[in-house]
Amino acid sequence: MQLTAEQTALLETVRSFAQREIKPIVHTYEAEDRYPSEIVEKMQELGLFGLNIAPEYGGAGVDTVTYALVFEELSAVWMSLAGILGTHGIMAYVLQRFGTEEQKRRLLPRMASGELRGGLGLTEPDAGSDVQNLKTTAVRQGDRYVLNGQKMFITNSRYGSGLLVLARTNPLADKPSHGMSAFIVEHDEQTPGYIVRRPIHKLGYKGVETCELSFEDLQVPQENLVGGEEGHGFAQVMSGLEVGRINVAARAVGVARAAFEEAVRYAQQRQTFGQPIAQHQAIQLLLADMYTQLSAARHLYIDAAEKKDRGQRADLEAGMAKLFASEMCGKVTLDAMRIHGGYGYTTDFNVERYYRDAPLMIIGEGTNEIQRTVIARQLLQRYRV
């Protein structure tokens, strides 16, 4: 695709920021699994938390394509930072599309500045991909809702200050999805009933916190019910996940791109049998496949983002982009490690980190098995006999 001058300028700003501020500290922060508070503050100053928020609410108002391209740029240096931005962006999208005008004016400017950094409180111990089976409840008591339940694998749950939480408000609804509502939960360390049970230690995706939460009689003001009406939360969150899956696909492309670029450089420097290994046909075949798959994945996520920008339903396209890009990322990062040989298995090189980060995209934002199911259902409707 042909980028506009505005897109090119924004991506160059993000690329320069990542190379200057993030790249020098990645190894240290990643090895220590340290939350990058200083980098997050600089991301706030750069306006990254308000990218997909309209200018009238203090944001930049970029389109979905541009937003996804930013995710690719960040992930090419350190994917964890895209994670900090990702669930915040889903919360902002849902609030901006489905929230009341009062909610938008009260919350979105704080989200755009990064003062209110959001996340998505969706997954539970017994309800991951099976969202309709969630157990968290929200009971109306006067001008408040009281939330009880557990959430699992929640990004931005400790160092953030807001969560978009999906909870069951009507257990007797005709369909489980019709009995769910979405809430904006503002929190800090002193919020009664908001309990961070434990951090969850992970193979990759270091630096960003992923926690298990409990809500114990957590009180949420009535005015923080998204849209002001019960029963619409499932559809609201699912629409947000279309954006999330596009961004996960972009993350996968960013990580794979970084792995490919390091592999193609290394292949031209490393010599065996009197010549660079890039001259060996076995290496050339790997590089050709890596770049072809990488380019195809980028086209898929851009196609999904363009459809989303046109206001059309994009769950099929987002699912295909997420599925293909994440599987591609897993293969490309492994192939990059193969090209590096023994060095690729050490922490002296970045490719082992890319390889550890890749499975998150396969599992997160709806497993790829679920993506295949979503894709198949859409296809059966489209090609109904």
Q: Which residues form the catalytic set?
A: 365
Q: Contact at 8 Å (CB) between 277 and 271? A: yes
Q: Which of 117, 153, 150, 120 has the alpha carbon at shortest distance from 133?
A: 150
User: Which residues fall within 8 angstroms of residue 334, CB to CB, at 6 or more apart?
Assistant: 355, 358
Could you give the 3-state DSSP secondary structure of residue 128?
coil
Q: Which of 95, 21, 85, 77 has the alpha carbon at shortest distance from 47?
A: 85
Q: Contact at 8 Å (CB) between 286 and 332? A: no
User: Which residues fall within 8 angstroms of residue 367, CB to CB, at 6 or more apart?
Assistant: 128, 129
Q: Which of 206, 1, 308 has the alpha carbon at shortest distance from 11?
A: 1
Q: Which of 311, 302, 307, 324 has the alpha carbon at shortest distance from 3?
A: 302
To which H or E segment does residue 367 belong? none
Residue 261 structure tokens: 């670029």
Beta bridge partners of 165: 121, 183
Alpha-carbon distance of 211 to 65, in angstroms, equals: 30
Total residues belonging to the chain: 385
Alpha-carbon distance of 132 to 175, in angstroms, equals: 9
162-168 and 120-121 as β-strands: parallel, antiparallel, unpaired?
parallel
Q: How many CA atoms lie within 13 A of 357 on its CB side?
A: 31
